[in-house]
């Protein structure tokens, strides 16, 4: 795996906090806009997408900055420019290991096709959608020392994904 080939020819291929935030915001807004605009949305789903309660800092305090921490910017994070995609993968493996997770990476590239293909599985990693059960909503705040005891389900965010 040499080179940083991006099949979509995007210019934001280099991993960075700024490109990650931009991509996440773009995908979130695009997904919601497409869901509201599409004719495939059923009449029962459309009101849920269009009549979401107005989100404010008063009713969504989890969006407020921690009063004792200074805001961080992209400059607070090290640049992740690497000349080889393999180095990017190895850096991700190291990050997972630091978090106590194992990353399994399988190179499935077929020489006769020439398109790099990699399958990555991280046992123990969970999806970002809201989960009502044991998992990251309960364990990560404790591990990051944001809480001293798990927050009960009744106190979890009632609006899990406001887009």
Which is higher by pLDDT, 45 or 120?
A: 120
* Residue partners of 118: CB distance under 8 A and separation at least 6: 1, 89, 105, 106, 107, 108, 109
Closest CA to 19 of 31, 6, 32: 6
The predicted pLDDT at position 129 comes to 56
Which two three-digit tokens encode residue 143?
Answer: 């591990």
Q: Are the beta carbons of 130 and 160 closer than 8 angstroms?
A: yes
8 has a pLDDT exceeding 60 = no
Q: What is the DSSP string of 31-77?
A: HHHHHHH-TTS-TTTHHHHH-PPPP-TTT-GGGSPPTTSPPP-GGGS
Torsion from C-alpha of 141, 15, 81, 8, nearest 10 degrees: 160
Partners of 104 in the β-ladder = 121
Q: What is the pLDDT of residues 22-49, one digit of tens each?
A: 777 777 767 666 655 555 555 555 555 5
The predicted pLDDT at position 24 comes to 75
Q: What is the pLDDT of residues 50-91, one digit of tens each?
A: 656 666 777 767 677 788 888 888 888 877 777 887 888 788
Average pLDDT of the chain is 72
The predicted pLDDT at position 91 comes to 85
Closest CA to 126 of 116, 139, 114: 139
């Amino acid at each position: 795996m040499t080179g940083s080939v991006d099949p979509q020819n995007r210019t934001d291929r280099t991993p960075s906090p700024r490109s990650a935030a931009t991509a996440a915001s773009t995908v979130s807004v695009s997904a919601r806009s497409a869901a509201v605009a599409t004719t495939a949305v059923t009449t029962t789903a459309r009101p849920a997408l269009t009549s979401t309660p107005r989100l404010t800092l008063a009713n969504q305090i989890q969006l407020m900055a921690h009063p004792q921490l200074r805001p961080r910017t992209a400059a607070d994070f090290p640049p992740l420019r690497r000349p080889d995609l393999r180095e990017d993968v190895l850096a991700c493996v190291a990050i997972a290991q630091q978090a106590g997770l194992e990353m399994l990476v399988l190179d499935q590239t077929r020489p006769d096709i020439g398109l790099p293909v990699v399958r990555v599985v991280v046992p123990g990693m969970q999806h970002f959608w809201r989960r009502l059960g044991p998992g990251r909503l309960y364990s990560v705040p404790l591990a990051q020392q944001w809480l001293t005891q798990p927050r009960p389900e009744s106190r979890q965010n009632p609006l899990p994904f406001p887009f």
